Amino acid sequence: MSGQDCTPDQPLIRVENLCKIYKLESQANQPIRHQVLFDINLEIRSGEFIAIMGQSGSGKSTLMNILGCLDVPTSGNYWLAGRNVASLSNNELAHVRNCSIGFVFQGFNLLKRITALDNVAIPLLYAGMSRKESRKHALTLLQQTGLGQFTLHYPNQLSGGQQQRVAISRALINQPQLILADEPTGNLDTQTSHEIMTLFKQLNEDQGISIILVTHEDDIASYSNRLIRLKDGRIIQDKNKCVF
């Protein structure tokens, strides 16, 4: 179920001269070019835990969306596990998003009318697995993330931290190479935030899952092994905390 593996000397992610420009319309219906990312060059190896930081409007969420194949760059190149993302069809991109990348968002993005178990099982159902088998895998993940007793609860019956654990379980269900987490603790209190970050750290260290985290909080970024800081659409800092 997992995506294509990288060779030992090949980065999981390679970005070259990546730019992103949005075209907006003014009141006079004249197009306005708004450049959000400027000449981003970046390599990320399998097993890294990276925090991307920057003020609002720095381009960090736009970069995250491009890395997650949710958006496309205006120019430049992006390779994921050796594949040039620009060359992929819409169906291939959908397959990458479903099988190679797990997404965790600030707002949890759970379906309110189905249980935690079925929320986690959804990606496997989309991949063609039977409901019985998909729920079996979902149950295992919920147990691993400490929610074994809440499988039949609906999202509105769970705390924020529990909902985020459901979202993380869902992100893991297809055994992705990469988890992209956009402000995953933004709606959580301090103690719960650190519990969620401890879970991410364990996933990275115990299972070798690559994690890219967008945050504006220094204490949350401290869980990562590498810090990338953006300002006005440019990388101004790329600092390793340890040797990979």
Question: Is the pLDDT assigned to residue 243 strictly greater than 60?
Answer: no
Name all domains of the chain by residue range, CATH numbers in brackets.
47-72+89-240 (3.40.50.300)
pLDDT value, residue 6: 46
| Cα-based distances in Å from 229 to 5, 52, 59, 156, 215 | 27, 6, 10, 35, 10
Residue 213 host element (H or E)? strand 210-214
**Burial bucket for residue 112 (CB in 10 Å: 0-12, 13-18, 19+):** exposed
Of 29-33, 83-87, 127-131, 156-160, give the lowest mean pLDDT range.
Answer: 29-33
Mean pLDDT of 81-97: 88
**Calpha distance 14→75 (Å, rounded):** 14
pLDDT value, residue 94: 86
For the chain, what percent of residues have pLDDT higher than 90?
74
Question: Is the pLDDT assigned to residue 26 strictly greater than 80?
Answer: no
Residue 19 identity: C
**Burial bucket for residue 208 (CB in 10 Å: 0-12, 13-18, 19+):** exposed
Going by C-beta distance under 8 Å and a sequence separation of 6 or more, which residues neighbour residue 64? 52, 180, 182, 212, 214
- Which letter does DSSP use for residue 151 in this model? T
| Cα-based distances in Å from 242 to 8, 76, 154 | 18, 29, 41
Mean pLDDT of 172-198: 93
For the chain, what percent of residues have pLDDT higher than 70?
93
Higher pLDDT, 53 or 93: 53
pLDDT value, residue 242: 57
Question: Is the pLDDT assigned to residue 7 strictly greater than 80?
Answer: no
99 — pLDDT class (breaks 50, 70, 90): confident
